[in-house]
Amino acid sequence: MSGRPEVLFPLFADLTSLPGVGERLQKIFAQMGVEKPRDLLFTLPHSGIDRARRATIQGLDTPGVVTVEVEVLEHRRPRRKGGAHVVTVRDAGATFRLVFFHARPDYLERLLPLGARRVVSGRLEFFDGAPQIVHPDHVLDPAEADDLPLFEPVYPLTQGLSQKVMRKAVRAALARAPDLDEWIDESLRAREGWPRWRVALEEAHNPLTAAELAPEWPARQRLAFDEFYAHQLALALARAHLRRGKGVALVGDGRLRRKVLDSLPFPLTGAQRRAIAEIEKDMAAPRRMNRLLQGDVGAGKTLVAFMALLIAVEAGRQGVLMAPTEVLARQHYAGLGPLAAAAGVRLEILTGRDKGAERRAKLDALRTGEVDILVGTHAVFQDDVTFKALGLAVIDEQHRFGVAQRMRLSGKGPAVDVLVMTATPIPRSLALAHYGDMDVSVLDEKPPGRTPVATALVPTTRMDDVIERLRHAIAEGRQAYWVCPLVEESEAVDLASAEERYKALSAALGDGVVGLVHGQMPPAEKDAAMARFAAGETRVLVATTVIEVGVDVPNASIMVVERAEIFGLAQLHQLRGRVGRGAQKSTCLLMYKPPLSETARRRLTILRETDDGFRIAEEDLAMRGAGDLIGTVQSGLPRFRIGNIEHQTALMALAQNAARKLLHDDPGLQSPAGQAARVLLWLMEEDKSIRLIAVG
Ligand code: ADP
Ligand code: MG
């Protein structure tokens, strides 16, 4: 199957192919991301109006929607233009008024003839002590009142679109929906009580009660599962594709690792040993490793990664460690230097700053295999960087990469094993959605001896106190980070600029005491400033969030974050993780600009209550949503229309198992279930991954 299956054509046609949808409506729908009939199917009502018929309005909670049969008693035309046209009606127990503005009287008199019976439905309210409905939603002849659904779906809309038009368009799209072959395993479907796809759509768009709008309702749950399943199939296909790539068994003899472990003043944590064992097993297997190493700040991921790199070297290969920024690449290089020396392997660094002869020399050394382990930035994946025999690629702190980038990167050498490290503790649901193609090792245990960081919320109005405390701390030999949220110049209006803060702190604490790093600085200056701080020459480092990830200065024991309320929780947790690395008692001051909203206070309070990155990430996710957490654009996360990644973790896990099972049983997607799954991938616009299906 090379193109979209014909059975789906009607759903991928122009929206204007639907009766009643012209170019004007097409534009309006486009504003809400609805571009084809398929999109209408997956735009579900978010609520509903109960139109169950009552005998009388008496006893109704007002204001509230009511549907009653009435007799028309009287018309009172507006006395002046633009006035109200009032129709008095009587139901089985009460008399009330229907009120219309800007309507033609003769039209209303035909709609509601004197003495006739009508079913009216609308919002009843009291005005001047009398019950009335202004502009009823429905006025029907009792003979046709059966057409009125007892429970009317309410859709998300956009400017220029009415419920009526939306409903009509959805009905037309539903009429186009074919009865597709089932892609869900029958036993799973039976166990969950899920309807077939076509039926699920009908039910989801025609709820009979409010309960049927809930995500747990079988029809809705099935449709959410479909979305997750398609996504997980795409990830599983990527995973299978990588694993099929004829991997090389990298078996180390442990001699280099032993030297490093002997040189360390501490033993590995249990979690580190577990992770290394998992990695070692993966690398030794004759297929590609594609593993995620997840662990909170300070859990000791770097050491684990280095052990993995040494396995590659022990096996006669090279390894590369890629960091997201220059600063981090240099820090890794510096930090790993002693370990590399202990092992007796050659470590080299390559970044965008390497130019000319020096760069050529490094590339030569890589090509000839003199360099065992390369540390660097994105520069290590440039086209002219060739390894003699690359065995393992480690990518540090790069939760911002999507599946596609990960796949491209592993193409740098034949059968390169890939290890991705992330310090952002990702809630399970997100990890499943984002890294479903990978196997996961978790460092869920921190090295002993860390003192928890005392965290406090401080309003900016107490700036002077904070600076005073800082002065004392410096006098005691402590060091501090001071983080300012610097954004683009144009947006910097009310944000403390790092440069201004730098000047102010220098004035308060003395010249030469304060350093500055920010993103716009020339790289060499940035390195120099970092180095001066690391060496203890400067005592306070004013920085933008460039220090967010990984930076390690054990003597720094104070972290001040300005405008903490505009940072993400996970980001603040990362920042706080920069201190509390040494033996000293550490402090984190989260400064906010009052007044602090209730939500913002709740968010920041979580940081005071816990140091558990996973819990923080879960809370952050619950409060902000998946997109915000990773940054929707960069996340590579799909937007789910029906499924809710925050609240349907179990469903996502189910989808992952189902997807992996299908690919295990039927790698070429040839069976009936496999064929149906192909159609699902097209339906869910995950068709890019179809080319990854195993052939032959
Ligand atoms: P992460 O990258 O997970 O944030 P790092 O790898 O930077 O953590 O480790 C943080 C610090 O902990 C480093 O200084 C490292 O040398 C130290 N460390 C790593 N493993 C251990 C261990 N098992 N026991 C004590 N300290 C450790
Ligand atoms: Mg790190």
The pLDDT > 70 percentage for the chain reads 90
Ligand nearest to the CA of 425: 1
Query: For residue 194, which phi and psi values (nearest 5 degrees)?
Result: -85, 135
Ligand 1 atom closest to the Cα of residue 443 is: 3
Contacts of 251 (CB under 8 A, 6+ apart): 283, 284, 314, 315
Q: List the single range of 280-284, 440-444, 664-668 with lowest mean pLDDT.
A: 440-444
Could you give the residue ranges of the DSSP H alpha helices within 126-196?
163-176, 186-192
**Residue nearest atom 23 in ligand 1 by C-alpha distance:** 268
If phi over 0 gives left and psi between -120 and 50 gives alpha, with beta otherwise, what is residue 317? beta
User: Tokens representing 628?
Assistant: 């915000």
Q: Please list, in sequence order, all residues whose beta carbon lies within 8 angstroms of the beta carbon of residue 241, skipping any fewer than 6 positions away.
A: 407, 692, 694
Q: Strand order in 318-322's β-sheet?
A: 347-350, 373-376, 318-322, 390-396, 417-422, 290-295, 439-443
Residue 75 near residue 105 (C-beta atoms within 8 A): yes
d(CA 382, CA 175): 51
Question: From ligand 2's centre to the CA of 183, what distance in Å?
Answer: 42
Best mutation site among 293, 302, 398 for ligand 1 pocket (most ligand atoms within 8 Å of CB):
302
Q: In whole angstroms, what is the distance from residue 43 CA to residue 28 CA?
A: 15
Question: Domain 255-443, CATH 3.40.140.80 — does that match?
Answer: no
d(CA 523, ligand 2 centre) in Å = 20
Ligand 1 atom with least separation from CA of 268: 23
Report H helices in 462-556: 463-475, 498-509, 523-534
Token pair in block for residue 263? 């040189």
Ligand 1: residues within 6 Å at CB?
Answer: 266, 268-269, 272, 295, 297-303, 423, 447, 552
Tell me the pairing of strands 453-459 and 417-422: unpaired
Q: If you average pLDDT over every residue of the chain, what do you get?
A: 87
Distance CA 403, CA 249 (A): 24
Q: Confidence band (pLDDT; 50, 70, 90) for 255?
A: very high
Whole-number Å distance between alpha carbons of 636 and 526: 30
Q: What is the mean pLDDT of residues 32-52?
A: 93
509 residue type, one letter: L
Ligand 1 atom showing the smallest separation from residue 577 Cα:
4
In this structure, are strands 64-76 and 117-127 parallel, antiparallel, or unpaired? Answer: antiparallel
* Ligand 1 atom nearest 269 alpha carbon: 23
Phi, psi of 633 (to 5 degrees): -65, -45
- Which positions ≥6 away from 270 have C-beta within 8 Å? 445
Length of the chain: 696
Q: How many CA atoms lie within 13 A of 533 on its CB side?
A: 26
d(CA 607, CA 297) in angstroms, rounded, equals 14
Residue 305 Cα to ligand 2 middle (Å): 10
Token pair in block for residue 511: 């010249």
Residue minimizing CA distance to atom 19 of ligand 1: 300
Level-2 CATH architecture, domain 453-610? 3-Layer(aba) Sandwich (3.40)
Quick: pLDDT tens for 339-351.
999 999 999 999 9
The closest of 261, 293, 287, 290 to 275, measured between CA atoms, is 293
User: In this model, does residue 646 exceed pLDDT 80?
Assistant: no
Local structure of residue 131 (DSSP, 8 states) = E
Measure 316 CA to ligand 2 centroid, in angstroms: 26
Q: Is the dihedral of CA 513, 517, 520, 524 positive or negative?
A: positive
Residue owning the nearest CA to atom 15 of ligand 1: 300
CA of 275 to the centre of ligand 2 (A): 15
448 C-alpha vs ligand 2 centroid, how far in Å?
Answer: 17
pLDDT tens for 544-560 read 765 544 567 888 999 99
pLDDT 10s digits, 48-86: 999 989 999 998 888 899 999 999 999 999 988 878 999
Check: CB of residue 238 under 8 Å from CB of residue 288: no
Ligand number with the minimum distance to the CA of 266: 1
3-state SS assignment for residue 483: strand
Q: Assess whether pLDDT exceeds 70 at residue 4.
A: yes
- Between residues 377 and 678, the one the model is more confident about: 678
Q: What digits encode the pLDDT tens for the residues 168-192?
A: 999 999 999 999 999 999 999 999 9
Question: What is the CA(692)–ligand 2 centre distance, in A?
Answer: 33
Would you list the domain boundaries of the chain? 6-47+157-214, 52-148, 255-443, 453-610
For residue range 447-488, what is the model confidence (pLDDT) as tens digits? 887 778 999 999 999 999 999 999 999 999 999 999 987 654
Rg of the chain on CA atoms, in Å: 32
Provide mean pLDDT across the span 624-649.
62
CA distance 650 to 299: 27
- What average pLDDT does range 29-52 have in this prediction? 93
- Residue among 257, 260, 261, 266 to mutate when testing ligand 1 (max atoms within 8 A of CB): 266
Rounded CA separation 645/632 (Å): 13
Number of H helices, E strands in the chain: 25, 22
Superfamily designation of domain 52-148: Nucleic acid-binding proteins (2.40.50.140)
The tokens describing 175, both together, are 């009429």
- Between the CA of residue 175 and those of 37, 41, 337, 593, 637, what are the distances in Å? 10, 10, 67, 54, 31
* Residue type present at position 565: E
The conformation of residue 508, written as its DSSP 8-state character, comes to: H
**Which of 303, 549, 552, 555 should be mutated for ligand 1, with most atoms under 8 A from CB?**
303
Residue with CA closest to ligand 1 atom 13: 300
Q: Which atom of ligand 1 is nearest to the CA of 305?
A: 6
Q: Give the confidence band of 333 by pLDDT, cuts at 50, 70, 90.
A: very high
510 CA to centre of ligand 1 in angstroms: 33
Q: Is-same-fold flag (255-443; 453-610)?
A: yes
Say how many Å lie between the CA of residue 275 and the centre of ligand 1.
Answer: 14
Distance 299 CA to ligand 1 centre (A): 6
Ligand nearest to the CA of 260: 1
Place of tokens 């060499």: 524
